Amino acid sequence: MVVVVPAGGVGARLGRRTPKQFLSVAGTPILVTTVQHFTRHPGVDAVVVAVPAAHLDRARRLLAPLGRRVRITVVAGGASRQESVRRGLEAVPRAGGVIVVHDAVRPFITRALVDAVVAAAAADGAAVCALPVTETVKRVRDGRVETTVDRADLWAAQTPQAFRAAILREAHEKAWRDGVTATDDAMLVERLGHPVRVVRGLETNLKITTPADLRRARAAPASMRSRVAPAARHPRPAPASMRSRVAPAARHPR
């Protein structure tokens, strides 16, 4: 399988000059930890990472030590998550199989979760992990509650999400033609009328978006932090022979 990691965000909600995916948790850049989950997975053949154009060289230096077995390609991301995924897909050879999409800033995934989502996608064509919504949800307009939404059937989607390659490509191509923007890839697949299977996610599958999220990640218990592999800590710039394994995309389509 091939993994696409959208990492094109600039971290505006964190209020820092450094994009959030390059910040460290347990001594390791978040991006490195996330990608390493997949480079160590025996079923992964390639990883494509989409980062801000200004940080291409930085990402390639950080990820080069992880590219010994799995080919890592770093491309320039887009202005939105959706565009970053689309650019990542353009760097993936057109073949069958399953493509996994995973947020760069979710470093606490497990192999078991990845395997469950991939197995569901292989069987049904599309799958996401998600958790039932436990909070009371209000629909609000102009600072006033319009209605309370029945949460009985509401689930909060996470990543990884996985899809048969042809389905995911068709979904992105149609969205591009129609000028449609979505907040996750499953929504684009839903627009095709294709069913999306749901696998129960993990409470610990934290997405690091806000300062509070970063504090939670850095204060995570040892059982979660152990997923940050010591081998990835403080990666040094790789020699040129190794950096060549982290391939730039031939072109960054507009």
Bridge partners of 141, per DSSP, are 144
pLDDT at 18: 83
Arithmetic mean of pLDDT, 35-40: 97
Calpha distance 228→223 (Å, rounded): 10
Using pLDDT thresholds of 50, 70 and 90, give the confidence band for residue 84: very high
Calpha distance 21→33 (Å, rounded): 10
Residue-averaged pLDDT of the chain = 89
**In this predicted model, what pLDDT tens digit does every residue of 172-186 receive, in sequence order?**
999 999 999 999 999
**In this predicted model, what pLDDT tens digit does every residue of 139-164 receive, in sequence order?**
999 999 999 999 999 999 999 999 99
**In this predicted model, what pLDDT tens digit does every residue of 225-237 receive, in sequence order?**
555 444 434 344 4
pLDDT at 114: 98
Calpha distance 201→116 (Å, rounded): 10
Calpha distance 160→109 (Å, rounded): 8
pLDDT at 220: 84
Q: Is the pLDDT of residue 83 over 80?
A: yes
Q: Is the pLDDT of residue 4 over 60?
A: yes
Q: Is the pLDDT of residue 239 over 80?
A: no
Q: Which residues contact 250 (CB under 8 A, 6 or more apart)?
A: none
pLDDT at 12: 60
**Domains in the chain with CATH codes:** 2-128+157-248 (3.90.550.10)
Calpha distance 243→68 (Å, rounded): 10
pLDDT at 94: 85
pLDDT at 14: 63
pLDDT at 17: 75
